[in-house]
Amino acid sequence: MMRNPERATVSSVAKAAKVSRASVYAVLNATKNINIRVSEKIEKRILQVADELGYVRNENARMLVTGKTNTIGVMLTGMENQFFDPMLKEIYRIGDGRGYSISVSFSSWDMERERRGISGFCGNRFEGIIWVPITPGGDDFKRNIGLIESMNIPLLLIGTYEYPESDNRCQVGIREEESVSTGIEYLSSLGHRRIGIATATATECRRRNMHEIRLGHMRKLASDAGMIIYDRDIFNTSDNAYGGVGFAAEILRRPRSSWPTAIFAADDMLARGLIAGLSCLGVKVPDQISVLGFDDSPGNETAGIPVTSVSLETAEMGRRSLPLLLDVIERKLPDGSPQRIILKTRLVERKSCSSPPMNRMTSKELI
Amino acid sequence: MMRNPERATVSSVAKAAKVSRASVYAVLNATKNINIRVSEKIEKRILQVADELGYVRNENARMLVTGKTNTIGVMLTGMENQFFDPMLKEIYRIGDGRGYSISVSFSSWDMERERRGISGFCGNRFEGIIWVPITPGGDDFKRNIGLIESMNIPLLLIGTYEYPESDNRCQVGIREEESVSTGIEYLSSLGHRRIGIATATATECRRRNMHEIRLGHMRKLASDAGMIIYDRDIFNTSDNAYGGVGFAAEILRRPRSSWPTAIFAADDMLARGLIAGLSCLGVKVPDQISVLGFDDSPGNETAGIPVTSVSLETAEMGRRSLPLLLDVIERKLPDGSPQRIILKTRLVERKSCSSPPMNRMTSKELI
DNA sequence: CGACTCTGTCCAAGCAAATTG
DNA sequence: ACAATTTGCTTGGACAGAGTC
């Protein structure tokens, strides 16, 4: 009296093929080195019967015996932007290569759902967890960490924050300040002295937070680098996607002598909008004004004018995070190897930035 | 000699609390109606010991006995656009409400990864599968369907295609032609006779395909409705995100008398770009030209000029799909209830469309 | 007899050890 | 002795049925 007469098991296959369970097991796991020999004749019969009955191994039962799920849980916030896309692609690729499955869960910025997700990962005895927390540091965060670590499940945190180091816990991320500095230094090295900023601190709360932090760093680091940012050169919008287009009209309304020579946008959407608006109004980017993006999100390279941008190395985050986590899981970390990886952000040069027009004129005059 | 001395089990809790496994089971599953009574004193002790040892139920073992995983696998293509976001949010919400976990997997438009994902869902004995296939109809597609149905796992397909109906298989989707017609009829009812189209058939392959199909329907349905579309009013770009901005300059170069009175964009990104470009150039939307979007993706309502758009009802897809699937799983479908749900697309009126300027003039003149 | 508590069996697969020819 | 094949025990949890006071 089976619950699922249609669902084949090792036993049902063995019975149908008139052999023992062990023979079936040996044949269906032929890739592994098993000390059970099976004659060709029987092997053939078993394979045929297994196929006829549609045998698919029950991974839950397998887990119970081996203690391994070979699955990594990935807890993300949401997919309202493509930010995680390159990262996740890398995680899948590496997981495939090393024989691990990936199970993704989204918190949708809801603490309770995040808790349930993490708790599900633990209940399913996943091998490891990659987690982009909603709010690092809070009580919920600590409870979740506590649960994961009490189960001895290796954890990898992703984010711009720095967590205290700990056994069985790793981190991959960037430093927000360093990322801004990568852009400021680049603009400075091109010779820009008066720059503008495009930001969107009036957008939805979570992005706003990030925009505010970036804006703060931009002002400070630009000033440290001897640059001037006038208040009227800080363009702010609520529309993250197309707000930049509007900035273009605002700039064109002024005499050219009072333009900044470059604009550092707080994300690529703003930069692309700005470039599109300027181009549409007949302003040449970068000849008349440079535009620098942020994030280096997918699409920058194929934009009308390919956008020079500060890469947060999200693909690299994926490329570094899963191998690190798997090394912890498989305990093949050499002593003293890093548990915390802070990635250097990188300036990706394309077409939207050049030296300021004045510098170019000056150099011409000098010749 | 346990594999995981630190991972508590019912037995280890029972041993530590000096009671039987059944008592521990009864206490830890107190919510369910179990015919095992436990005294308060022992209950307290068990709860305390379970907490101390950090007991977390092994869902894999539980599945083995009950035959239920209470998990729905959701197979998606990718997250390069936010299209799935509203759908997935609804799926999570409904899953939470009915006690099911959601496990998401991405194919990243890779057939092999799609196969592995589906096969993983089957191996894990998930209760049901929601699947947005990469290429419906192909051999890989049929193999996957075959696997799922041979395991008797209820399947729900999402897409614009129509699959043959079948037991244990459902579908939720829209009809592409009907969606285009929703927009054309609206523009027609506003009095537009000469419309333009914004499209991006030169973009990456999968989106291109969709844009080409939509363009075809647009031409045919507009003509059926007695509208004129001049070839020069079909604006085409490769840049899905900001290409629309460039169209604005192209339109402005012409004498106003040769403008279409409305432009139907093949997606909201194009529509938003077009509106941003036009606004930036001083053209009033919708007073001088109407712009109609497509998809009604998140953000339309908060754009500078809120975009009127054809809603594909992605949230509604989520809202309808999981309940239908769960009803199949729990076998509480009344006889003759629909296995295939084709949703009606809906016109979401905001601010970017109005009657054409000429009509308005005429009506003024008539007064 | 009822209130409480426990033992034994099952689930599907993995695999060591024993058995067969 | 040896290859081919099988049996029996294990995993963690669910729960029926059987004790115990």
Task: Write a three-state SS string for A288-319.
Answer: CCEEEEEECCCCHHHCCCCCCEEECCHHHHHH
Q: Is the pLDDT of residue A155 over 90?
A: yes
Q: Which of residues 21 to 40 on A have a Cβ less than 7 angstroms from any strand C atom?
A: 21-22, 25, 28-29, 32, 34-36
Per mean pLDDT, which range of A26-30, A239-243, B219-223 is the poorest? A239-243
Nucleotide C10's nearest residue (CA vs C1') is B65
pLDDT at residue A168, rounded to an integer: 80
CA distances for B230 relative to A45, A125, A155, B245, B344, angstroms: 67, 61, 59, 20, 29
Name the region of A54 (left: φ>0; alpha: ψ -120 to 50; beta: rest).
Answer: left
How far apart (Å, rounded) are the C-alpha atoms in residues A77 and A109? 5
Question: From B89, which residue of chain A is nearest by alpha-carbon distance?
Answer: A108
Query: Across the interface, do B239 and A89 touch by the CB < 8 Å criterion?
Result: no
The answer to whether B290 touches B357, Cβ cutoff 8 Å, is: no
Token digits of residue B311:
């809603």
- Give me the mean pLDDT over the B182-201 stretch: 96
- Gap from B165 CA to C1 C1', in Å? 57
Closest-approach nucleotide to residue B65, Cα vs C1': C11
How many Å apart are CA A97 and CA B111, to the nearest integer? Answer: 16
Q: Does the structure show a pLDDT above 60 at A191?
A: yes
| Helix H or strand E segment including A139 | helix A139-150
* Domains recognised in chain A with CATH numbers: 10-57 (1.10.260), 69-175+314-344 (3.40.50.2300), 177-312+348-366 (3.40.50.2300)
Percent of chain A clearing pLDDT 70 (strictly above) = 93
Flag residues 41-70 of A with CB < 7 Å from strand C: 55, 57-58, 61-62, 64-66
Contact yes or no for A221/A153 (Cβ under 8 A):
no
Give me the residue from A7, A63, A298 closest to B151, CB to CB.
A7
In this structure, of A84-88, A133-137, B189-193, B240-244, the range with the lowest mean pLDDT score is: B240-244
| A279/B246 CB distance under 8 A | yes
> Would you say B103 and B91 are in contact if contact means Cβ atoms under 8 Å apart?
no
Question: Is a pLDDT exceeding 70 seen at residue A230?
Answer: yes
pLDDT at B214: 92
The protein footprint on chain D, as nucleotides within 7 A of a CB, is 3-8, 10-17
pLDDT for res B367: 39
Nearest to B249 among A54, A69, A280 (CB): A280
Nearest CB to B298: which of A80, A102, A304? A80
Which helix (H) or strand (E) segment is B232 a member of?
none
Closest chain B residue by Cα to residue A117? B101
- Residue B73 confidence (pLDDT): 98
DSSP-based three-state secondary structure for B285: coil
Q: What is the mean pLDDT of chain B?
A: 90
A2 CA: nearest nucleotide by C1': C11
User: Are A280 and B248 in contact (CB < 8 Å)?
Assistant: yes
> Would you state the structure tokens that stand for residue B134, as one six-digit string?
């990469």
Query: Which residues 44-83 of B interface with strand D at a CB distance below 7 A?
Result: 55, 57-58, 61-62, 64-66
Q: Which of B78, B88, B102 sits opposite A85 (nearest CB)?
A: B78
Model pLDDT for residues B239-289, shown as the tens digit of each residue: 777 888 889 989 999 999 899 999 999 999 899 989 989 988 889 999 999
Residues 6+ apart with CB under 8 A from B79: A79, A82, A84, A85, A88, B106
Nearest CA-CA partner of B172 in B128, B207, B131: B131
A277/B272 touch (CB, cutoff 8 Å), yes or no? no
Return the half-sphere exposure (C-beta side, CA atoms, 13 A cut-off) of residue A133: 23
Q: In Å, how far is A156's CA from the nearest CA of chain B?
A: 19
Q: Would you call A92 and B85 a contact, using CB atoms and an 8 Å cutoff?
A: no
DSSP bridge partners of B130: B74, B156
Q: Is the pLDDT of residue B363 over 50?
A: no
Q: State the pLDDT at residue B244.
A: 86
For residues B259 and B358, is the Cβ–Cβ distance under 8 A? no
State residue B84's pLDDT score.
87
- Collect all residues of chain B within an 8 Å Cβ-Cβ radius of residue A102: 105
**Number of cross-chain residue pairs from A and B with Cβ atoms under 8 Å apart:** 181
pTM here is 0.89
With a cut of 90, say whether residue A204 has pLDDT above it.
no
- Is the backbone peptide bond immediately before B286 cis, with ω within 30 degrees of 0? yes
Q: B234-236 and B195-199: which strand pairing?
A: parallel
